[in-house]
Chain A
Amino acid sequence: MIALVPGLLPTCTAKQPQVKGCTSGSRKNVGCMFLSLRTTMRLLTHNMLTSHVKGVTNGYPLKLQAENIKVMSVDFNPEFVARMIPKLEWQALVQAAESIGHLGDLPRELVPEYESNEEFLKMAHHVLMEVEVIEGNLECPETGRKFPIKNGIPNMLLNEDEV
Chain B
Amino acid sequence: MAAPMCSTGWRRYLLWLAHDHLEFRIPEIQSIALAVGSQMEICDSDYDLKSHPFVELRLPSEEDARKIIGRSFLSRCLLELWGTGQTAEELHQVLRDYPTELSAPYMRQDTSFRYHVAAFGKTLTMRRKRDLIDALDFLPFQGRVDLKNAEHTFYILEDYGDDPTKTPEEPYRTFFGRWIGDGQRKLIDKYSVRKRHFIGETSMDAALSFVMANMAAARRNSVVFDPFVGTGSLLVSSAHFGSYVMGTDIDSHIIHGWGRSTRHNKKWRGEDENIRANLRQYGLEHLYLDVLISDAARSVWRPCQLFDAIVTDPPYGIRESSQRLGTKDNNFVREDDCELHNPTKTAYTLSDLLTDLLNYAAQHLVIHGRLVYWLPVYRPDYSEKILPRHPCLRLVSNCEQVLSTDISRRLICMEKVKEYQESDSAEIVVNPYREHNAIRDKYLLLAKEKKQKQRTREDTHTKTKPSEKPTEES
Give the distance to chain A from B339, nearest Cβ to Cβ, in Å: 6
Decide if B289 touches A45 in the complex (CB within 8 Å).
yes
Interfacial chain B residues near A89, Cβ < 8 Å: 302
**Among A72-80, A99-107, A115-123, the stretch in contact with B:** A72-80
Decide if B291 touches A24 in the complex (CB within 8 Å).
no
**Among B208-216, B327-335, B442-450, B452-460, the stretch in contact with A:** B327-335
Chain A: interface secondary structure? loop
Give the distance to chain A from B356, nearest Cβ to Cβ, in Å: 13
Is B277 part of the contact surface with A, judged by Cβ < 8 Å? yes
Residues on A lying within 8 angstroms of B by beta carbon are: 1-2, 10, 14, 16-17, 19, 24-25, 27-28, 30-31, 33-34, 36, 38-39, 41-42, 44-45, 47-50, 52, 60, 74-75, 77, 79-80, 83-84, 87, 89, 148, 150-151, 153-161, 163
Decide if A2 touches B286 in the complex (CB within 8 Å).
yes
Decide if A87 touches B271 in the complex (CB within 8 Å).
no
Once A24-B342, A36-B274, A156-B292 are accepted as A-B contacts, the answer to whether A80 and B244 lie under 8 Å apart by CB is yes
State the CA gap A50–B274 with chains docked (Å): 25
Decide if A52 touches B335 in the complex (CB within 8 Å).
no
What 0/1 readout, one digit per residue, does chain B (194-216) give for beta carbons within 8 Å of chain A?
00000000000000000000000
Chain B: interface secondary structure? loop
State the CA gap A154–B248 with chains docked (Å): 10
Q: How many residues of B contact A (CB 8 A)?
A: 54
A-B pairs with beta carbons under 8 Å apart, 29 shown? A2-B280, A2-B286, A19-B268, A24-B341, A31-B258, A36-B271, A38-B274, A38-B276, A42-B289, A44-B290, A48-B301, A49-B292, A49-B300, A49-B302, A52-B299, A74-B286, A148-B339, A153-B252, A153-B256, A153-B291, A153-B292, A157-B250, A157-B293, A157-B294, A157-B325, A160-B326, A160-B327, A160-B343, A160-B344
Is B285 part of the contact surface with A, judged by Cβ < 8 Å? yes
Is B33 part of the contact surface with A, judged by Cβ < 8 Å? no
State the CA gap A154–B244 with chains docked (Å): 19
Give the distance to chain A from B136, nearest Cβ to Cβ, in Å: 47
Decide if B290 touches A151 in the complex (CB within 8 Å).
no
Give the distance to chain A from B220, nearest Cβ to Cβ, in Å: 8
Decide if A79 touches B286 in the complex (CB within 8 Å).
no
